[in-house]
Amino acid sequence: MRKHVDLVGLLFVLWGGMSLLLSVSLVSIGIAATAIGAAAAPAASGGKVTAGIVAAVFFVLAAAGLVFGAVHVWIGTRLRRFREWARAFAIVLAAVDLVLIPFGTALAIYTFWALLNAQSKPLFEDRHG
């Protein structure tokens, strides 16, 4: 089970990294929407408002994605070090990942199988940090 737990940690890091990359692209789209709003003609005030709303939505989504990705990377690295608290957090994150079809769901099912298995529990005992 050690290999499975290590693989779950690696998959968490990769999943978080993909989320971070997606969030960076959302930031760039938000910047583009801000630029479009700034370049709108003064008479087109509705265009400026719309561009501002779109930019705000993209920035909020990017911030959420950055937090989501960073937490996955952090938990994944700690899971690979067999930290007991990381196991609990990974199970909670897996429950959140269930709704992210198809890859999040597959990751969540594999995480549940690997971390809730009776053979993997001893790997996390007697570890401090």
Q: What is the per-residue pLDDT for 125?
A: 82
Tokens of 31: 């910047």
Q: What is the per-residue pLDDT for 77?
A: 96
Cα dihedral sign, 89-92-98-99? negative
Q: What is the per-residue pLDDT for 41?
A: 60
Residue-by-residue pLDDT tens, the chain, 129 positions: 889 999 999 999 999 999 999 999 999 999 988 888 887 666 666 777 888 888 899 999 999 999 999 999 999 999 999 998 999 999 999 999 999 999 999 999 999 999 999 999 888 886 555
| Distance from C-alpha of 10 to C-alpha of 25, rounded to nearest angstrom | 23
Q: What is the per-residue pLDDT for 42?
A: 65
DSSP, collapsed to helix, strand or coil, labels residue 128 as coil
DSSP state of 41: -
Q: What is the per-residue pLDDT for 95?
A: 96
For tokens 């196991």, name the residue.
87
Q: What is the per-residue pLDDT for 47?
A: 72
pTM of the predicted structure, to 2 decimals: 0.85
Phi, psi torsion values for 117, nearest 5 degrees: -70, 140
Longest dimension (CA), the chain: 68
If 0-12 CB within 10 Å is exposed, 13-18 middle and 19+ buried, where does residue 118 land? exposed
